Structure 1
Amino acid sequence: MAYKDEKLHEVKVFKDPVHRYVHVRDRVIWDLIGTPEFQRLRRIKQLGTTYLTFHGAEHSRFNHSLGVYEIVRRIINNFKDREHWNEKNRLLCLCAALLHDLGHGPFSHSFEKVFKLDHEYYTQQIILGDTESNRILEKVYPGFAQEVADVINKTHSNKLVVSLISSQIDADRMDYLQRDSYFTGVSYGHFDMERILRVMRPIEDQVVIKSTGMHAVEDYIMSRYQMYWQVYFHPVTRSAEVILTKIFDRVKFLYESGYHFKLKPTHFISFFNKEENLQDYLNLDEAVVHYYFQMWQHEEDKILSDLCERFINRRLFKYVEFDPNKMMNSWVTLTQLFKDMNIDPEYYLVVDSSSDLPYDFYRPGEEGERLPIHLLMPNGELRELSRESEVVEAISGKKRTDHKLYYPLDRLEQAKKKDKKTVQQIMRILHGQGDV
């Protein structure tokens, strides 16, 4: 029997709090789960620093990846024998679903921002490089790894297959909304996924939704909107990300300045020098990063020591509403006042912005172009979702942006004894923008 057709002796199951069970029968999938590259995802949190806000958010990219695989498995089971669905694409879909997040690094977005990396690039590198994952994929047939990489990269010629993994209603989003809702303990991410799976239909270039399932899709869209603003962009979580980013910034600055570390940043040096390779990337996980932060609390450099202690012990920055585009004079004044008090504004006065577009209709040629959700009407016509749903139409194409200014209130309170007048001036400016 060819490797691609090989089945396990019996179905293996992973007990899952969101989907109840994740079912594995294909030998290829079972072997991929066992690779070092996939097992590494157990050591990467799905929600980065969100556990410092919602204490239950300790789930991993490993959990999520299995969940996306399970949703795709259910979708293609429902597609069997339907027009436009080719069963030959089954294993391709399952592998792409399982491996779509393989390239995430520790505290993904903060790490990527400082070192100018892209987890999607590393996903491709792991799938196509000298890895166990690549060797398993190539056993399916020569070139299969490239096909999987192309699906994840949204460049595969089969747009229907791509849309299962990446679209405005895909398995990735359906899993993370429910999973993140479950582990954070909020109710915003709940929607009727079973209903959506039942009304999904394959057409030539994408998945569409039977019009009878429109209200379930409305619920899904609003769940996503609420999760972004109540969980993903939570200001306390963003405060932790600000500190995390500034730790990496400081270590990079110190390294380039020739500072003598008590604990040398060995795992990061190749990234500082822009000489990193795939193995350097795979050697990093959040356990490694936490160890460095734990040890750097005792560095001679006061800024690095303080930032690491804040992150480890959750002494986060406070925040106020602050739009730098409208409040440039206040920003300049605050920066100078912080310098006057010997508090480095580069690390202790930070504007952070969040923005999201909950749903968008088709805008051909635009950057980040994304296909809309189409409803399949009883007469066979396709109608774009926002043309049928007043709920979705109300938020379509509307980008919401939020700006906050983060600062160490405890440092200001300590300085008040020495420089009461300056601190009062700072607090007046801050109070003018929002509550402290």
Structure 2
Amino acid sequence: MPVGNKKLPEEKVFKDPVHRYIHISDELIWDLVGTKEFQRLRRVRQLGTTFLTFHGAEHTRFNHSLGVYEIMRRIIEVFEGRPHWNGNEGLLCLSAALLHDIGHGPFSHSFEKVFNTDHEEWTRHIILGDTEVNTVLRRMGEDFPQQVADVIEKTHPNKLIVSMISSQIDADRMDYLQRDAFYTGVSYGHFDMERILRVMRPTEDQVVIKATGMHAVEDYIMSRYQMYWQVYFHPVTRSAEVILTKILQRVKDLKNEEYPFKYPPHHFESFFRGAITLEDYLDLDESVAMYYFLMWQKEEDAILQDLCRRFMNRRLFKYVEFDQHFMMNEWLRLQQLFADLGVDPAYYLVVDSSSDLPYDFYRPGEEEDRVPIHLLMPDRRLRELSRESDVVEAISGKKRTDHKLYYPSEVLEEPGQEDTKQQIKDILHLKLGKVER
């Protein structure tokens, strides 16, 4: 096995719509990109079901991972020769940046919810297991894969390196905000990344920002806030995720009932058993999952057939907003009313909640990985961002949460059982508020 890393005879360049160019000069990085585990990320969308809301959101984890690598490469260029930066750690940073999302599965978060998997755990398995990725990484030494995994898991002793890829302002977030904004076509996620990169400085424990760059960081924080509520938590995307989750749940339930599938879910077998092998995990991507959703439209089971048709043809659930008092006062009654209509509330009446904390500061005694952003002042002191920025201070530590109830609105428009349907409408309209369309 070759040992160490060499520079490529000629730099490789990826044309990128967000960063213009992605530059690779290290043989190690180039070979990691060529592994089958990394190439699989071309078949896993970055934003899951968001393509059903923003039709341009077809970009993949492959795109994003290359983008995070490129930002990390630029950060390292800024850090070269500065105190607290060890140039020998560069390849570790670049490898961790490139591989940080390699464990994501199809429609990642919905999939994890049903099958109780964790993409971070699978990232570790891929880096440390019998894979092409592991073989390439071991050229740098037998302990190098473990170091890469530790950086991604935030357990590496070098906190500076960890903060470069996982903190409140890091290479990962700076790429996905810009990339997701570009592909969804929204204006919220744009900020002056070039300015932020120029004012980043290494310290012993974390990346800090020169005080002169505070306004660029304010812009970044607000971009993140807007992207979460306008894109990532968009109610239509959440409706698609609800249906996707219920498809997987229905298949799991039918499997337990020994239902005779016309199109057996072979690629899901080990997931049902809770004995997933690395090979099984890597064999399942979104192209495979979509094939099953397509074919399950022809199943005899009416619920699975309907849910798959809804997902494939974008016939999504409608929603209403509600408060927590509803759960105690009306939830059981509403479930029974839907059941009276012949609609199984277990699959067709779904509560979904979203919450985000756009920026947090240090809270003594809390076990939290939200290391605050520090500004490097002219006198070399460090000041926590919200103590200097009125904009950030206004949203610091403020967690926003909303709750929505998703349901199939068309069943209320069909003729028959008018009294039951009117009771449902009264609850949805009067108790919960205006129905969203």
TM-score normalised by the chain length of structure 2: 0.98
Name the counterpart of 2:423: 425
- Matched position secondary structure for 2:4: helix
Q: Indicate yes or no: 2:109 matched with 1:135.
A: no
Name the counterpart of 2:192: 192
Q: Indicate yes or no: 2:242 matched with 1:242.
A: yes
Give the Cα–Cα distance (whole angstroms) in 2 for the partners of residues 241 and 37 of structure 1.
25
Name the counterpart of 1:51: 51
Name the counterpart of 1:101: 101
Please, which moves more after superposition, 319-328 or 33-42? 319-328
Name the counterpart of 1:317: 317
CA contact under 8 A between 1:177 and 1:189: conserved in structure 2?
A: yes
Name the counterpart of 1:380: 380
Shift in Å, 1:3 = 4.3
Give the Cα–Cα distance (whole angstroms) in 1 for the partners of residues 142 and 364 of structure 2.
35
Shift in Å, 1:331 = 1.2
Give the Cα–Cα distance (whole angstroms) in 2 for the partners of residues 325 and 157 of structure 1.
46
Give the Cα–Cα distance (whole angstroms) in 1 for the partners of residues 326 and 424 of structure 2.
18
Letter in 2 for 1:418: G
Letter in 2 for 1:422: T
Name the counterpart of 1:75: 75
Name the counterpart of 2:390: 390
RMSD over aligned Cα, in angstroms?
A: 1.1
CA contact under 8 A between 1:363 and 1:370: conserved in structure 2?
A: no
Name the counterpart of 2:221: 221
Name the counterpart of 1:158: 158
Give the Cα–Cα distance (whole angstroms) in 2 for the partners of residues 173 and 366 of structure 1.
23
CA contact under 8 A between 1:363 and 1:369: conserved in structure 2?
A: no
Give the Cα–Cα distance (whole angstroms) in 2 for the partners of residues 318 and 285 of structure 1.
28
Letter in 1 for 2:419: K
CA contact under 8 A between 1:11 and 1:24: conserved in structure 2?
A: yes
Letter in 2 for 1:352: D
Give the Cα–Cα distance (whole angstroms) in 2 for the partners of residues 420 and 58 of structure 1.
42
Superposed CA deviations along residues 167-201 of structure 1, whole A, max 9, x for unmatched, are 00000000000000000000000000000000000
- Matched position secondary structure for 1:8: strand
Give the Cα–Cα distance (whole angstroms) in 2 for the partners of residues 251 and 123 of structure 1.
26
Letter in 2 for 1:434: G
CA contact under 8 A between 1:37 and 1:282: conserved in structure 2?
A: yes
Superposed CA deviations along residues 399-419 of structure 1, whole A, max 9, x for unmatched, are 0000000000112222xx111
Name the counterpart of 1:174: 174
Give the Cα–Cα distance (whole angstroms) in 1 for the partners of residues 326 and 82 of structure 2.
55
Please, which moves more after superposition, 371-380 or 325-334? 325-334
Letter in 1 for 2:120: E
Distance 1:40 1:308, change over 3 A: same
Superposed CA deviations along residues 300-332 of structure 1, whole A, max 9, x for unmatched, are 100000000000000000000023444422211
- Matched position secondary structure for 1:5: coil
Give the Cα–Cα distance (whole angstroms) in 2 for the partners of residues 280 and 364 of structure 1.
43
Letter in 2 for 1:420: E
Name the counterpart of 2:434: 435
Letter in 1 for 2:373: I
TM-score normalised by the chain length of structure 1: 0.98
Letter in 2 for 1:202: P
Give the Cα–Cα distance (whole angstroms) in 1 for the partners of residues 223 and 55 of structure 2.
21
- Matched position secondary structure for 1:24: strand
Name the counterpart of 2:124: 124
Name the counterpart of 2:267: 267
Give the Cα–Cα distance (whole angstroms) in 2 for the partners of residues 363 and 284 of structure 1.
40
CA contact under 8 A between 1:324 and 1:351: conserved in structure 2?
A: no
Give the Cα–Cα distance (whole angstroms) in 2 for the partners of residues 255 and 363 of structure 1.
46
- Matched position secondary structure for 1:58: coil
Give the Cα–Cα distance (whole angstroms) in 1 for the partners of residues 364 and 311 of structure 2.
43
CA contact under 8 A between 1:111 and 1:245: conserved in structure 2?
A: yes
CA contact under 8 A between 1:362 and 1:369: conserved in structure 2?
A: no
Distance 1:28 1:326, change over 3 A: same
Shift in Å, 1:62 = 0.1
Distance 1:112 1:88, change over 3 A: same
Shift in Å, 1:16 = 0.2
CA contact under 8 A between 2:15 and 2:21: conserved in structure 1?
A: yes
CA contact under 8 A between 2:5 and 2:139: conserved in structure 1?
A: no
Name the counterpart of 1:401: 401
- Matched position secondary structure for 2:24: strand
